[in-house]
Structure 1
Amino acid sequence: MNKLTTMELFDIKSKIYTIRDKHVMLDRDLALLYGVETKRINEAVRNNPDKFPDDFYFELDNREFEYLRSKISTTNFVKVRTNPKVFTEQGVYMLATILKSKVASEITVSIIRTFADMRKILANHSTLLEQFYHLEKRQLSYEIKNDNNIDKIFKALECKNNIQEQGVFFNGQIFDAYNFISDLIRKAQKTIILIDNYIDDSTLTLFQKNQTVSVTIYTHSIKTTLKLDLEKYNQQYKPITIKTNKNFHDRFLIIDDNEIYLIGASLKDLGKKVFWFSLLKDINPDLLKLL
Protein backbone atom coordinates (compact mmCIF):
# COMPACT_ATOMS: atom_id res chain seq x y z
CA MET A 1 0.00 0.00 0.00
CA ASN A 2 1.30 3.50 -0.82
CA LYS A 3 2.03 5.98 1.92
CA LEU A 4 -0.96 8.07 2.98
CA THR A 5 -1.26 11.48 1.37
CA THR A 6 -1.42 14.69 3.40
CA MET A 7 -5.19 14.83 2.80
CA GLU A 8 -5.58 11.30 4.13
CA LEU A 9 -3.59 12.23 7.24
CA PHE A 10 -5.86 15.25 7.68
CA ASP A 11 -8.85 12.90 7.42
CA ILE A 12 -7.43 10.75 10.20
CA LYS A 13 -7.16 13.80 12.45
CA SER A 14 -10.77 14.65 11.71
CA LYS A 15 -11.79 11.17 12.89
CA ILE A 16 -10.20 11.53 16.32
CA TYR A 17 -12.53 12.79 19.06
CA THR A 18 -12.04 13.67 22.70
CA ILE A 19 -14.32 11.70 25.01
CA ARG A 20 -13.79 11.07 28.73
CA ASP A 21 -10.61 13.17 28.43
CA LYS A 22 -9.19 10.63 25.99
CA HIS A 23 -8.47 10.80 22.26
CA VAL A 24 -10.52 8.05 20.62
CA MET A 25 -11.63 6.73 17.23
CA LEU A 26 -14.98 5.18 16.34
CA ASP A 27 -15.13 1.49 15.50
CA ARG A 28 -16.83 2.27 12.17
CA ASP A 29 -14.08 4.78 11.19
CA LEU A 30 -11.37 2.23 11.96
CA ALA A 31 -13.26 -0.36 9.92
CA LEU A 32 -13.42 2.07 7.00
CA LEU A 33 -9.68 2.77 7.18
CA TYR A 34 -8.82 -0.92 7.54
CA GLY A 35 -11.17 -1.88 4.69
CA VAL A 36 -13.27 -4.28 6.79
CA GLU A 37 -16.81 -4.32 8.19
CA THR A 38 -17.47 -2.76 11.59
CA LYS A 39 -18.69 -6.07 12.98
CA ARG A 40 -15.27 -7.57 12.22
CA ILE A 41 -13.66 -4.93 14.44
CA ASN A 42 -16.01 -5.65 17.34
CA GLU A 43 -15.66 -9.40 16.86
CA ALA A 44 -11.91 -9.01 17.36
CA VAL A 45 -12.63 -7.34 20.69
CA ARG A 46 -15.20 -9.95 21.80
CA ASN A 47 -12.80 -12.75 20.95
CA ASN A 48 -9.96 -11.12 22.92
CA PRO A 49 -11.59 -9.39 25.92
CA ASP A 50 -8.43 -9.61 28.02
CA LYS A 51 -6.56 -7.46 25.48
CA PHE A 52 -9.08 -4.60 25.54
CA PRO A 53 -9.49 -3.13 29.03
CA ASP A 54 -11.62 -0.03 29.55
CA ASP A 55 -8.75 2.35 28.83
CA PHE A 56 -8.29 0.65 25.40
CA TYR A 57 -11.90 0.29 24.32
CA PHE A 58 -15.36 1.28 25.60
CA GLU A 59 -18.94 1.81 24.49
CA LEU A 60 -20.34 5.34 24.44
CA ASP A 61 -23.17 6.07 26.83
CA ASN A 62 -26.28 7.90 25.61
CA ARG A 63 -25.03 11.34 26.58
CA GLU A 64 -21.70 10.80 24.84
CA PHE A 65 -23.45 9.44 21.76
CA GLU A 66 -25.71 12.50 21.58
CA TYR A 67 -22.66 14.73 21.90
CA LEU A 68 -20.99 12.87 19.05
CA ARG A 69 -24.11 13.07 16.90
CA SER A 70 -24.03 16.84 17.34
CA LYS A 71 -20.50 16.88 15.93
CA ILE A 72 -21.15 14.49 13.03
CA SER A 73 -23.87 14.40 10.40
CA THR A 74 -26.80 12.48 11.89
CA THR A 75 -27.33 10.68 8.58
CA ASN A 76 -24.19 8.69 9.38
CA PHE A 77 -25.98 7.07 12.33
CA VAL A 78 -29.40 6.39 10.80
CA LYS A 79 -29.00 2.59 10.87
CA VAL A 80 -27.18 2.40 14.19
CA ARG A 81 -29.17 0.38 16.75
CA THR A 82 -26.61 0.35 19.54
CA ASN A 83 -24.26 3.01 20.75
CA PRO A 84 -20.89 3.02 18.94
CA LYS A 85 -17.69 1.69 20.46
CA VAL A 86 -14.46 3.65 20.50
CA PHE A 87 -10.76 2.80 20.69
CA THR A 88 -8.03 4.79 22.43
CA GLU A 89 -4.52 4.98 20.98
CA GLN A 90 -3.51 1.83 22.86
CA GLY A 91 -6.67 0.10 21.70
CA VAL A 92 -5.92 0.92 18.05
CA TYR A 93 -2.45 -0.56 18.38
CA MET A 94 -3.81 -3.71 20.04
CA LEU A 95 -6.46 -4.06 17.33
CA ALA A 96 -3.76 -3.95 14.63
CA THR A 97 -1.87 -6.81 16.27
CA ILE A 98 -5.03 -8.94 16.16
CA LEU A 99 -6.11 -8.13 12.60
CA LYS A 100 -2.60 -8.98 11.36
CA SER A 101 -2.82 -7.57 7.86
CA LYS A 102 -0.41 -5.37 5.92
CA VAL A 103 -3.11 -2.77 5.38
CA ALA A 104 -3.95 -2.72 9.08
CA SER A 105 -0.29 -2.35 10.02
CA GLU A 106 0.35 0.56 7.63
CA ILE A 107 -2.85 2.35 8.57
CA THR A 108 -2.11 1.84 12.27
CA VAL A 109 1.32 3.45 11.91
CA SER A 110 -0.32 6.53 10.39
CA ILE A 111 -2.99 6.58 13.09
CA ILE A 112 -0.43 6.27 15.90
CA ARG A 113 1.63 9.10 14.36
CA THR A 114 -1.50 11.24 14.21
CA PHE A 115 -2.22 10.53 17.86
CA ALA A 116 1.38 11.53 18.65
CA ASP A 117 1.02 14.78 16.68
CA MET A 118 -2.11 15.62 18.63
CA ARG A 119 -0.30 14.95 21.90
CA LYS A 120 2.40 17.42 20.84
CA ILE A 121 -0.25 20.01 20.04
CA LEU A 122 -1.84 19.45 23.43
CA ALA A 123 1.56 19.70 25.12
CA ASN A 124 2.20 23.02 23.37
CA HIS A 125 -1.24 24.20 24.40
CA SER A 126 -0.54 23.13 27.97
CA THR A 127 2.68 25.16 27.93
CA LEU A 128 0.80 28.17 26.60
CA LEU A 129 -1.94 27.69 29.20
CA GLU A 130 0.68 27.51 31.93
CA GLN A 131 2.25 30.71 30.61
CA PHE A 132 -1.16 32.36 30.55
CA TYR A 133 -1.76 31.10 34.09
CA HIS A 134 1.46 32.70 35.32
CA LEU A 135 0.66 35.92 33.46
CA GLU A 136 -2.83 35.99 35.00
CA LYS A 137 -1.34 35.24 38.40
CA ARG A 138 1.09 38.15 38.02
CA GLN A 139 -1.74 40.38 36.79
CA LEU A 140 -3.92 39.34 39.75
CA SER A 141 -1.07 40.05 42.14
CA TYR A 142 -0.64 43.46 40.52
CA GLU A 143 -4.37 44.17 40.76
CA ILE A 144 -4.47 43.11 44.42
CA LYS A 145 -1.53 45.40 45.14
CA ASN A 146 -3.31 48.24 43.35
CA ASP A 147 -6.54 47.47 45.20
CA ASN A 148 -4.67 47.65 48.50
CA ASN A 149 -3.22 51.00 47.49
CA ILE A 150 -6.67 52.23 46.48
CA ASP A 151 -8.05 51.06 49.84
CA LYS A 152 -5.34 53.06 51.58
CA ILE A 153 -6.25 56.13 49.55
CA PHE A 154 -9.93 55.77 50.39
CA LYS A 155 -9.14 55.23 54.05
CA ALA A 156 -6.99 58.35 54.00
CA LEU A 157 -9.81 60.25 52.35
CA GLU A 158 -12.24 58.90 54.93
CA CYS A 159 -9.97 60.07 57.71
CA LYS A 160 -9.73 63.47 56.04
CA ASN A 161 -13.48 63.62 55.63
CA ASN A 162 -14.27 62.42 59.14
CA ILE A 163 -16.40 64.98 60.91
CA GLN A 164 -15.17 66.21 64.28
CA GLU A 165 -17.03 64.79 67.23
CA GLN A 166 -16.44 67.84 69.42
CA GLY A 167 -14.76 71.21 69.33
CA VAL A 168 -15.06 74.97 69.59
CA PHE A 169 -15.68 77.63 66.96
CA PHE A 170 -14.53 81.16 67.79
CA ASN A 171 -15.76 84.60 66.80
CA GLY A 172 -15.33 85.16 63.08
CA GLN A 173 -15.15 81.45 62.10
CA ILE A 174 -18.36 81.93 60.17
CA PHE A 175 -17.42 79.83 57.14
CA ASP A 176 -15.75 77.07 59.21
CA ALA A 177 -18.84 76.70 61.38
CA TYR A 178 -21.13 76.88 58.35
CA ASN A 179 -19.06 74.23 56.56
CA PHE A 180 -19.13 71.95 59.62
CA ILE A 181 -22.93 72.01 59.82
CA SER A 182 -23.11 71.54 56.03
CA ASP A 183 -20.99 68.38 56.33
CA LEU A 184 -23.33 67.03 59.00
CA ILE A 185 -26.33 67.69 56.77
CA ARG A 186 -24.68 66.04 53.75
CA LYS A 187 -23.77 63.04 55.90
CA ALA A 188 -27.40 62.11 56.58
CA GLN A 189 -28.85 59.13 54.70
CA LYS A 190 -32.49 59.11 55.80
CA THR A 191 -33.55 61.77 58.29
CA ILE A 192 -32.45 65.03 59.89
CA ILE A 193 -34.05 66.51 63.00
CA LEU A 194 -33.10 70.02 64.10
CA ILE A 195 -34.12 71.34 67.52
CA ASP A 196 -33.54 75.10 67.49
CA ASN A 197 -35.73 77.81 69.00
CA TYR A 198 -34.28 80.58 66.82
CA ILE A 199 -34.59 79.81 63.12
CA ASP A 200 -35.14 81.90 60.00
CA ASP A 201 -34.77 81.59 56.22
CA SER A 202 -30.96 81.20 56.52
CA THR A 203 -31.58 78.03 58.55
CA LEU A 204 -33.74 76.60 55.77
CA THR A 205 -31.06 77.42 53.20
CA LEU A 206 -28.63 75.01 54.88
CA PHE A 207 -30.85 72.04 54.05
CA GLN A 208 -30.58 72.66 50.30
CA LYS A 209 -27.35 70.66 50.57
CA ASN A 210 -29.18 67.36 51.03
CA GLN A 211 -32.37 66.91 49.04
CA THR A 212 -32.67 63.16 49.58
CA VAL A 213 -33.60 63.03 53.27
CA SER A 214 -36.61 63.92 55.38
CA VAL A 215 -36.04 67.10 57.45
CA THR A 216 -38.05 68.05 60.54
CA ILE A 217 -37.40 71.18 62.59
CA TYR A 218 -38.68 71.70 66.14
CA THR A 219 -38.86 75.27 67.47
CA HIS A 220 -40.72 77.02 70.29
CA SER A 221 -42.94 79.11 67.97
CA ILE A 222 -43.68 79.63 64.28
CA LYS A 223 -44.07 83.29 63.34
CA THR A 224 -45.81 84.58 60.21
CA THR A 225 -42.51 85.47 58.54
CA LEU A 226 -41.19 81.94 59.12
CA LYS A 227 -44.40 80.45 57.74
CA LEU A 228 -43.95 82.48 54.55
CA ASP A 229 -40.26 81.52 54.27
CA LEU A 230 -41.16 77.86 54.71
CA GLU A 231 -43.93 78.05 52.12
CA LYS A 232 -41.61 79.60 49.53
CA TYR A 233 -38.82 77.11 50.33
CA ASN A 234 -41.12 74.08 50.03
CA GLN A 235 -42.36 75.25 46.63
CA GLN A 236 -38.85 74.90 45.20
CA TYR A 237 -37.04 72.30 47.32
CA LYS A 238 -37.79 69.05 49.09
CA PRO A 239 -40.38 70.06 51.72
CA ILE A 240 -39.30 70.63 55.30
CA THR A 241 -41.65 70.09 58.23
CA ILE A 242 -41.58 72.58 61.12
CA LYS A 243 -43.27 71.75 64.41
CA THR A 244 -43.51 73.55 67.74
CA ASN A 245 -41.97 72.10 70.88
CA LYS A 246 -41.25 73.88 74.17
CA ASN A 247 -39.34 71.06 75.90
CA PHE A 248 -35.83 72.12 74.82
CA HIS A 249 -33.53 75.03 75.58
CA ASP A 250 -30.35 73.81 73.81
CA ARG A 251 -29.85 73.17 70.10
CA PHE A 252 -29.60 69.60 68.81
CA LEU A 253 -28.97 68.18 65.34
CA ILE A 254 -30.02 64.53 65.04
CA ILE A 255 -28.72 62.53 62.07
CA ASP A 256 -30.58 59.36 61.00
CA ASP A 257 -32.00 58.95 64.53
CA ASN A 258 -28.68 57.63 65.85
CA GLU A 259 -26.19 60.53 65.97
CA ILE A 260 -27.08 63.49 68.18
CA TYR A 261 -24.95 66.62 68.12
CA LEU A 262 -25.31 69.27 70.82
CA ILE A 263 -24.82 72.63 69.11
CA GLY A 264 -24.05 75.64 71.34
CA ALA A 265 -25.45 78.22 68.91
CA SER A 266 -28.47 78.57 66.70
CA LEU A 267 -27.72 77.63 63.11
CA LYS A 268 -28.54 81.14 61.91
CA ASP A 269 -25.80 82.57 64.19
CA LEU A 270 -22.93 80.19 63.34
CA GLY A 271 -19.51 81.77 63.92
CA LYS A 272 -20.83 85.04 65.30
CA LYS A 273 -19.92 84.11 68.88
CA VAL A 274 -17.87 81.39 70.54
CA PHE A 275 -19.82 78.15 70.77
CA TRP A 276 -19.16 74.52 71.65
CA PHE A 277 -20.39 71.44 69.81
CA SER A 278 -20.22 67.77 70.76
CA LEU A 279 -21.43 64.36 69.57
CA LEU A 280 -23.45 62.87 72.42
CA LYS A 281 -22.57 59.18 72.71
CA ASP A 282 -24.49 58.16 75.80
CA ILE A 283 -28.00 59.39 75.07
CA ASN A 284 -31.01 58.78 77.24
CA PRO A 285 -33.57 57.13 74.91
CA ASP A 286 -36.26 59.31 76.50
CA LEU A 287 -34.76 62.36 74.76
CA LEU A 288 -36.43 61.64 71.43
CA LYS A 289 -39.69 60.86 73.20
CA LEU A 290 -39.88 64.53 74.18
CA LEU A 291 -40.29 65.58 70.56
Structure 2
Amino acid sequence: MSEHKPITISDEVIINKIYLVRGQKIMIDRDLAEMYGVETRILNQAIKRNEKRFPPDFMFQLSAVELSDWKSQNVISNKEKMGLRKLPYAFTEQGVAMLSSVLNSETAIEVNIQIIRIFTRVRQLLTDHTELRLEVEKIKKKLDNQDKNMEVVFQYLDELLEKKDDSNTGRTIIGYQIGSGQS
Protein backbone atom coordinates (compact mmCIF):
# COMPACT_ATOMS: atom_id res chain seq x y z
CA MET A 1 0.00 0.00 0.00
CA SER A 2 1.49 3.34 -1.03
CA GLU A 3 1.64 6.19 1.42
CA HIS A 4 -0.51 9.17 0.44
CA LYS A 5 1.21 12.56 0.41
CA PRO A 6 -1.12 15.46 1.20
CA ILE A 7 -1.53 17.89 -1.68
CA THR A 8 -0.46 21.44 -1.02
CA ILE A 9 -1.94 24.24 -3.08
CA SER A 10 -1.65 27.71 -1.66
CA ASP A 11 -4.85 29.54 -0.80
CA GLU A 12 -3.67 32.41 -2.99
CA VAL A 13 -3.47 30.13 -6.05
CA ILE A 14 -7.03 28.94 -5.46
CA ILE A 15 -8.34 32.45 -4.80
CA ASN A 16 -6.77 33.63 -8.06
CA LYS A 17 -8.66 30.89 -9.91
CA ILE A 18 -12.08 32.10 -8.70
CA TYR A 19 -13.70 34.40 -11.25
CA LEU A 20 -16.90 36.38 -11.42
CA VAL A 21 -19.07 35.39 -14.40
CA ARG A 22 -22.82 36.00 -14.74
CA GLY A 23 -22.77 37.50 -11.26
CA GLN A 24 -21.52 34.24 -9.73
CA LYS A 25 -18.20 33.17 -8.32
CA ILE A 26 -16.98 30.31 -10.52
CA MET A 27 -13.97 28.16 -11.30
CA ILE A 28 -13.05 26.97 -14.80
CA ASP A 29 -12.80 23.26 -15.65
CA ARG A 30 -9.15 23.40 -16.73
CA ASP A 31 -8.07 25.12 -13.49
CA LEU A 32 -9.90 22.52 -11.42
CA ALA A 33 -8.44 19.66 -13.49
CA GLU A 34 -4.96 21.05 -12.95
CA MET A 35 -5.50 21.27 -9.18
CA TYR A 36 -6.94 17.74 -9.08
CA GLY A 37 -3.99 16.42 -11.08
CA VAL A 38 -6.06 15.17 -14.03
CA GLU A 39 -6.46 16.22 -17.65
CA THR A 40 -9.36 18.54 -18.44
CA ARG A 41 -10.86 15.96 -20.81
CA ILE A 42 -10.85 13.34 -18.01
CA LEU A 43 -12.64 15.78 -15.70
CA ASN A 44 -15.23 16.58 -18.39
CA GLN A 45 -15.76 12.86 -19.17
CA ALA A 46 -16.49 12.18 -15.49
CA ILE A 47 -18.98 15.05 -15.49
CA LYS A 48 -20.71 13.77 -18.66
CA ARG A 49 -21.10 10.35 -17.03
CA ASN A 50 -22.80 12.10 -14.07
CA GLU A 51 -24.78 14.87 -15.83
CA LYS A 52 -27.69 14.67 -13.37
CA ARG A 53 -25.40 15.82 -10.56
CA PHE A 54 -24.68 19.13 -12.35
CA PRO A 55 -27.78 21.26 -12.90
CA PRO A 56 -27.34 24.74 -14.46
CA ASP A 57 -26.88 26.42 -11.08
CA PHE A 58 -23.92 24.07 -10.39
CA MET A 59 -22.24 24.21 -13.81
CA PHE A 60 -22.61 26.01 -17.15
CA GLN A 61 -20.59 26.41 -20.30
CA LEU A 62 -19.10 29.82 -21.00
CA SER A 63 -20.29 31.60 -24.13
CA ALA A 64 -17.76 32.79 -26.72
CA VAL A 65 -18.19 36.38 -25.48
CA GLU A 66 -17.71 35.34 -21.83
CA LEU A 67 -14.60 33.34 -22.79
CA SER A 68 -13.20 36.34 -24.67
CA ASP A 69 -13.89 38.62 -21.68
CA TRP A 70 -12.33 36.08 -19.32
CA LYS A 71 -9.20 35.78 -21.48
CA SER A 72 -8.77 39.55 -21.70
CA GLN A 73 -9.31 40.02 -17.95
CA ASN A 74 -6.75 37.37 -17.11
CA VAL A 75 -4.13 38.16 -19.78
CA ILE A 76 -3.87 34.61 -21.06
CA SER A 77 -0.76 33.97 -23.16
CA ASN A 78 -1.04 32.54 -26.68
CA LYS A 79 0.35 29.21 -25.46
CA GLU A 80 -2.39 28.96 -22.83
CA LYS A 81 -5.08 30.02 -25.33
CA MET A 82 -4.10 27.09 -27.54
CA GLY A 83 -5.42 24.68 -24.91
CA LEU A 84 -8.89 26.24 -25.07
CA ARG A 85 -10.29 24.70 -28.25
CA LYS A 86 -13.72 24.24 -26.65
CA LEU A 87 -15.73 26.63 -24.54
CA PRO A 88 -14.82 25.76 -20.95
CA TYR A 89 -17.25 24.76 -18.25
CA ALA A 90 -17.70 27.01 -15.25
CA PHE A 91 -18.45 25.54 -11.82
CA THR A 92 -20.19 27.40 -9.03
CA GLU A 93 -19.38 26.63 -5.41
CA GLN A 94 -22.04 23.91 -5.39
CA GLY A 95 -20.64 22.44 -8.61
CA VAL A 96 -17.15 22.31 -7.13
CA ALA A 97 -18.56 20.54 -4.08
CA MET A 98 -20.33 18.02 -6.34
CA LEU A 99 -17.05 17.28 -8.15
CA SER A 100 -15.72 15.50 -5.08
CA SER A 101 -18.39 12.83 -5.53
CA VAL A 102 -17.52 12.41 -9.21
CA LEU A 103 -13.74 12.42 -8.81
CA ASN A 104 -13.30 10.06 -5.90
CA SER A 105 -9.55 10.31 -5.43
CA GLU A 106 -7.68 11.40 -2.32
CA THR A 107 -6.29 14.41 -4.19
CA ALA A 108 -9.74 15.48 -5.43
CA ILE A 109 -11.20 15.20 -1.94
CA GLU A 110 -8.37 17.20 -0.32
CA VAL A 111 -8.40 19.91 -2.99
CA ASN A 112 -12.19 20.13 -2.86
CA ILE A 113 -12.19 20.62 0.90
CA GLN A 114 -9.62 23.40 0.53
CA ILE A 115 -11.59 25.07 -2.32
CA ILE A 116 -14.88 24.93 -0.40
CA ARG A 117 -13.20 26.50 2.64
CA ILE A 118 -11.87 29.31 0.46
CA PHE A 119 -15.29 29.87 -1.16
CA THR A 120 -16.72 30.14 2.36
CA ARG A 121 -14.03 32.65 3.38
CA VAL A 122 -14.61 34.73 0.22
CA ARG A 123 -18.36 34.76 0.92
CA GLN A 124 -17.70 35.89 4.51
CA LEU A 125 -15.37 38.64 3.30
CA LEU A 126 -18.05 39.86 0.89
CA THR A 127 -20.63 39.82 3.67
CA ASP A 128 -18.30 41.77 5.97
CA HIS A 129 -17.58 44.21 3.13
CA THR A 130 -21.31 44.70 2.51
CA GLU A 131 -21.95 45.40 6.20
CA LEU A 132 -19.09 47.91 6.23
CA ARG A 133 -20.44 49.58 3.09
CA LEU A 134 -23.88 49.91 4.71
CA GLU A 135 -22.32 51.58 7.76
CA VAL A 136 -20.45 54.01 5.52
CA GLU A 137 -23.72 54.82 3.73
CA LYS A 138 -25.39 55.57 7.08
CA ILE A 139 -22.56 57.95 7.98
CA LYS A 140 -22.82 59.65 4.57
CA LYS A 141 -26.55 60.19 5.06
CA LYS A 142 -25.92 61.72 8.48
CA LEU A 143 -23.26 64.01 7.03
CA ASP A 144 -25.60 65.01 4.18
CA ASN A 145 -28.28 65.87 6.73
CA GLN A 146 -25.76 67.86 8.77
CA ASP A 147 -24.73 69.77 5.64
CA LYS A 148 -28.37 70.62 4.95
CA ASN A 149 -28.87 71.69 8.56
CA MET A 150 -25.77 73.91 8.38
CA GLU A 151 -27.11 75.54 5.20
CA VAL A 152 -30.38 76.34 7.00
CA VAL A 153 -28.48 77.83 9.96
CA PHE A 154 -26.43 80.05 7.63
CA GLN A 155 -29.58 81.14 5.80
CA TYR A 156 -31.13 82.19 9.11
CA LEU A 157 -27.94 84.04 10.08
CA ASP A 158 -27.93 85.87 6.73
CA GLU A 159 -31.58 86.84 7.23
CA LEU A 160 -30.85 88.12 10.74
CA LEU A 161 -27.90 90.17 9.47
CA GLU A 162 -30.07 91.68 6.73
CA LYS A 163 -32.76 92.58 9.27
CA LYS A 164 -30.13 94.13 11.55
CA ASP A 165 -28.70 96.20 8.66
CA ASP A 166 -32.21 97.37 7.71
CA SER A 167 -33.04 98.39 11.29
CA ASN A 168 -29.83 100.50 11.66
CA THR A 169 -30.60 102.96 8.84
CA GLY A 170 -33.02 105.24 10.78
CA ARG A 171 -30.98 105.55 13.98
CA THR A 172 -28.80 108.39 15.10
CA ILE A 173 -25.25 107.34 15.75
CA ILE A 174 -24.11 108.33 19.23
CA GLY A 175 -20.75 108.21 20.85
CA TYR A 176 -17.35 109.74 20.47
CA GLN A 177 -16.51 110.62 16.88
CA ILE A 178 -12.92 110.94 15.73
CA GLY A 179 -11.99 113.60 13.21
CA SER A 180 -15.24 115.49 13.30
CA GLY A 181 -13.46 118.79 13.99
CA GLN A 182 -15.33 119.56 17.22
CA SER A 183 -13.48 120.23 20.43
- Same fold per superposition (TM over 0.5): yes
Q: 1:4–1:110: 8 Å Cα contact kept in structure 2?
A: no
CA contact (8 A) 2:29 2:91 kept: yes
Correspondence 1:201-240 to 2 at 5 A: none
Alpha carbons of structure 1 residues 3 and 119: separation in structure 2 relative to 1, 3 Å: farther
User: How far is the alpha carbon of 1:66 from its aligned partner?
Assistant: 2.4
In structure 1, C-alpha distance between the alignment counterparts of 2:135 and 2:64, rounded to whole Å: 37
Instruction: List per-residue Cα deviations over 1:39-59 (Å, max 9, x = no partner).
Output: 122222222222111111111
Kept in 1, the 8 Å contact 2:6–2:107? The answer is: no
List structure 1 runs of 4+ shifted beyond 3 angstroms.
1-5, 147-154
User: Which digits, 9 at most, give the CA deviation of each residue in 1:116-160, with x for residues without a partner?
Assistant: 111121122112111111111111221222233345556x38x76
Matches within 5 A, 1:34-53: 34-53=36-55
Identify, as 1 or 2, the structure richer in strand: 1
Letter of the 2:13 counterpart: D
d(CA) in 1 for partners of 2:153 and 2:56?
A: 55
Partner of 2:11: 9
Alignment partner of 1:134: what SS?
helix
| Aligned-partner Cα distance in 1 for 2:60–2:155 | 56
Structure 1: distance between partners of 2:155 and 2:68: 51
Structure of higher RCO (CA pairs closer than 8 Å, 6+ residues apart): 2
Structure 1 residues 58 and 123, CA, compared in 2 at 3 Å: closer, same or farther? same
Aligned counterpart for 1:26 among listed residues 25, 28, 31: 28
TM superposition score normalised by structure 2: 0.75
Q: Which runs of 5+ in 2 are unaligned?
A: 164-183
Stretches of structure 1 lacking an aligned partner (at least 5 in a row) = 161-291
Amino acid at match of 2:87: N
CA distance in structure 1 between the partners assigned to 2:72 and 2:39 by the alignment: 24
Which protein shows a greater Rg? 1
Which whole-Å CA distance do the structure 2 matches of 1:122 and 1:35 have between them?
30
Match of 1:105 among 81, 98, 109: 109
One-letter identity of the residue aligned with 2:45: E
1:85 equivalent among 89, 111, 126: 89
Structure 1 counterpart SS, 2:10? helix
Partner residue of 1:62 out of 64, 72, 89: 64
Q: What CA distance in whole angstroms lies between the structure 2 residues aligned with 1:92 and 1:61?
A: 20
Q: Which whole-Å deviations, capped at 9, do the CAs of 1:3-41 have from their partners, x for residues lacking one?
A: 454x62221111111222221111000000111111122
Letter in 1 for 2:113: V
Cα pair distance change 1:104/1:79, threshold 3 Å: closer
Q: 1:24 to 1:131 in 2, by over 3 A?
A: same
Matches within 5 A, 1:1-291: 1-5=4-8, 8-75=10-77, 76-152=80-156, 156=159
Percent of counterpart pairs with the same letter?
34
More helix as a share of residues? 2
What SS does the aligned partner of 1:74 have? Answer: coil
Whether the 8 Å CA contact 1:16–1:23 is kept in 2: the answer is yes
User: Letter of the aligned partner of 1:52 in structure 2?
Assistant: F
Query: Letter of the aligned partner of 1:31 in structure 2?
Result: A
Distance in 1 separating the partners of 2:141 and 2:65: 36
